[in-house]
Homo-oligomer: A and B are copies of this chain.
């Protein structure tokens, strides 16, 4: 189970390519906007991580496209935090437009410390956040 948030966006002209559809790489901008919204709504941000001495680099991204978006289309990004025991932040995304599923995707972030070394256990600030959100006991 996870926590979710919804972000409403609209396709910008220059996000579309010569095929008249949103260029595939731009969906990661939409996912990011969904993720940032989620983090803001749930009081956990990359700035927050930085204050505790951690960076949260993305180590994996993926997207599966079902239908294209076109210029002017309005859509919503459903961002879901996937609760995992690993020292990772995993988000799943679904984009809908006119109630149709446009694409699904995911991103995985890890924690690195001030020496840019990978951290293998969950940082205390992250565990505290999980507790506050009722994701761990």
A residues neighboring B (CB under 8 Å): 12-14, 16-21, 23-26, 28-29, 32-33, 36, 46, 55, 57-65, 68, 71, 107
A16-B17, A36-B13, A57-B68 as given contacts; A24 in contact with B29, CB under 8 Å: no
Q: Please indicate which of the listed interface residues A18, A23, A62 has the most CB atoms of chain B within 10 Å of its own CB.
A: A18
Rounded to whole angstroms, the CA-CA distance of A28 and B29 in the bound complex is 12
- Residue contact B61 to A57, C-beta cutoff 8 Å: no
Q: List the B side residues contacting A13 at CB < 8 Å.
A: 17-18, 23, 32, 36, 46
Least CB distance from A53 to B in Å reads 14
- Residue contact B28 to A24, C-beta cutoff 8 Å: yes
